[in-house]
Structure 1
Amino acid sequence: MVSSTPNARAGMPKFAFPALILANLILPLGPVLVRMADVGPVAAAFWRLTLALPFLLILALPRLRRTMPTIREWSALIWSGLFFAADLAAWHIGILYTKVTNATIFGNMSGLMLPIWGMVVLRQRPRAMQAIALTLATAGAAVMMGGSYELSPRYLHGDLLCLLAGATYTGYLLIVQRARVRLDSWSVLAMSTLFSIPPLLLCALWLGERIMPGDWTPLVVLALSSQLVGQGLLTYAISWFTPLVLGLSLLLQPAVSAVLGWVLFGEWLSITDMVGTMAVAAALVLVRLPSRA
């Protein structure tokens, strides 16, 4: 998730827009694959990173040889790995206890939490569009959680875990900002992935989860789709579009999640659910609108 991006550049590659759309069609598969895996949810996160790590290292090592991290940057990378592990652990557990659509929406709340961080910690005055977005998001999230609680308190538990995942991912983004001043994105992603793997394995063992899968297919697809292809396409395409286009493209994710949840798990969205989902989705678009000069 990215809080701001440059304006669209001249000479955009013809594959940039298809890559952006395809990324937002692939990423919602993550919650479905976690449910399909025959290991625990945190173990699924462990395998998602472990299976993707060799490919990430191949991409990152040539760049790391040219620009070795400093001691301060290594510290930031270790902390980013811990926060990324917390994000995946909370999100993967939450996926099992709420609707696929809710998990997708709440797991992507970092786009709204970053402006909140700026207002609360950095004392930044919110723009009018940010204030509207935060109001919409609060109302929409309350509606979605109310609908979850009506179905089962366990669903509300899942919503809160996915919100926690969004918060810890926000912390991850704030930490890697300093490392990204000098290091490239593949180096940061590979090293944060490397440092996320041990705490995820320890957490899965502590929870008593099943670690070794009987069927590797969902985990291999999860690693390739979520960690490599989806994020890779998004990383490739993101610099060519304005914040508005990026925000609008994110609306594909809850839509795809709603369809997958209905087809695979019989998760019907009520009118109330739809209103709450669209309110949060609209907030994710509004918060990315550039401010007027």
Structure 2
Amino acid sequence: MVDEHPARAHPLAFAALLVGNAALAFGPWLVRLSDVGASAAGFWRLALAIPFLLVIARVAGQPLRWPARALAIAIAVAAVFFAADLAAWHAGIALTKLGNATLFGNISSFAFAAWGLWLVRRWPTRLQAAALLLAATGVALLMIGSAELSARNLHGDLLALLAGLLYTGYLIGIERVRGTLQPLPVLILASLFGAAALLPFALAMGEQVIPGQWTPVLILALSSQVVGQGLLVYALGVVPPLIVGLALLTQPAISALIGWLAYGETLTSLDAIGAASIALALVLVRLRPAAPATT
């Protein structure tokens, strides 16, 4: 019988998933701190991460080797989705609140979870349905609490929503190739293809490309790409999409806290309840259904 909870066979996979999402949640703040354009910030996030990833891959015994043509094309397509996601999301971050940007950007949580259920061709179990309902409740509470839905934020919110849909395409593409390739070579190639797509776009848009201050973009590369995406891509190979999708929802809660601490953005008791609902959803979705009684 195939284990429907492969994360149990990899005890650190779920922890890696949560740590990766925590690292990714700092991305919007670092993008705001950078002094380059939206697409340029995405380019540096990917480009600066590549040397570090190459060294880590060598030490970890996962050296980069060019994959078969079909796999290389699949990674390139996923990377284009990721590049477009970063361009849209980084542009949206400057036009709305951190909580809004991360919340709408993580519409991919439910889309990727739905992909996972479609993949196994079945409806969610009672526990999974309860987890999804709790997660949706948590998101709604975060929207009521920290997100500020207004005409002032509309443009940024729509860009973040578009980014979330594009990110779903990236996650699906990477999840497909992770069944064949190790995580670090996949991430290195995705970063390489994504950077190659973002640089000409940033130049064409007339953005400032060379940073005046390198610290924010370097930390962005290390935290979001090396740590965040590195752990996420690893988890995509061993954790079911439903759990990955719900785990992505930890990012809005952390970003709302960062927005409150760094910019004084609204943080209410509803945010705490919403975050607790998402945490409980993650507990529920990892529980095994009770075995039927036998006589």
Q: Per the shorter chain, which TM-score range?
A: 0.7 to 0.9
* Alpha-carbon distance in 1 for matches of 2:131, 2:180: 32
Q: Is the 2:46–2:221 contact (alpha carbons within 8 Å) kept by the matching residues of 1?
A: yes
Once the two structures are superposed, the pairs formed by residues 230-249 of structure 1 within 5 Å of their partners are: 230-232=228-230
* Offset of residue 290 of structure 1: 4.9
* Alpha-carbon distance in 2 for matches of 1:75, 1:241: 24
1:223-247 deviations in Å (ceiling 9; x for gaps): 1111113344566789999999989
Q: Which residue among 90, 93, 96 is the counterpart of 1:92?
A: 90
- Structure 2 residue runs without a partner (length 5+): none
Structure 1 counterpart of 2:177: 179
1:59-111 deviations in Å (ceiling 9; x for gaps): 4476334xx41121111111111111122122212222232233333334433
**TM-score, structure 2 normalization:** 0.76
Once the two structures are superposed, the pairs formed by residues 34-113 of structure 1 within 5 Å of their partners are: 34-60=31-57, 63-65=63-65, 68-113=66-111
* Alpha-carbon distance in 1 for matches of 2:70, 2:179: 12
* Alpha-carbon distance in 2 for matches of 1:281, 1:101: 17
Over 3 Å counting, the alpha-carbon distance change for 1:113 and 1:88 in structure 2 is same
Partner amino acid, structure 2, of 1:86: A
Over 3 Å counting, the alpha-carbon distance change for 1:95 and 1:5 in structure 2 is farther
* Alpha-carbon distance in 2 for matches of 1:255, 1:225: 17
* Alpha-carbon distance in 1 for matches of 2:155, 2:253: 22
* Offset of residue 208 of structure 1: 2.9
Deviates more, 1:153-162 or 1:239-248: 239-248
Report how many aligned residue pairs link the two structures.
285
* Alpha-carbon distance in 1 for matches of 2:149, 2:235: 39
Q: Is the 2:187–2:229 contact (alpha carbons within 8 Å) kept by the matching residues of 1?
A: no
* Alpha-carbon distance in 2 for matches of 1:237, 1:76: 19
Percent identity between matched residues is: 51
- Structure 1 residue runs without a partner (length 5+): none
Over 3 Å counting, the alpha-carbon distance change for 1:252 and 1:78 in structure 2 is closer
* Offset of residue 206 of structure 1: 3.5
Q: Is the 2:47–2:195 contact (alpha carbons within 8 Å) kept by the matching residues of 1?
A: yes
RMSD, aligned CA: 4.0
Once the two structures are superposed, the pairs formed by residues 1-293 of structure 1 within 5 Å of their partners are: 5-7=6-8, 23-60=20-57, 63-65=63-65, 68-118=66-116, 124-138=122-136, 141=139, 152-232=150-230, 253-270=251-268, 283=281, 286-287=284-285, 289-290=287-288
1:35-77 deviations in Å (ceiling 9; x for gaps): 0111112211111001111222344476334xx4112111111
Partner amino acid, structure 2, of 1:75: I
* Offset of residue 286 of structure 1: 4.8
Q: Is the 1:111–1:284 contact (alpha carbons within 8 Å) kept by the matching residues of 2?
A: no
Q: Is the 1:34–1:44 contact (alpha carbons within 8 Å) kept by the matching residues of 2?
A: yes
* Offset of residue 258 of structure 1: 2.5
* Offset of residue 257 of structure 1: 2.1
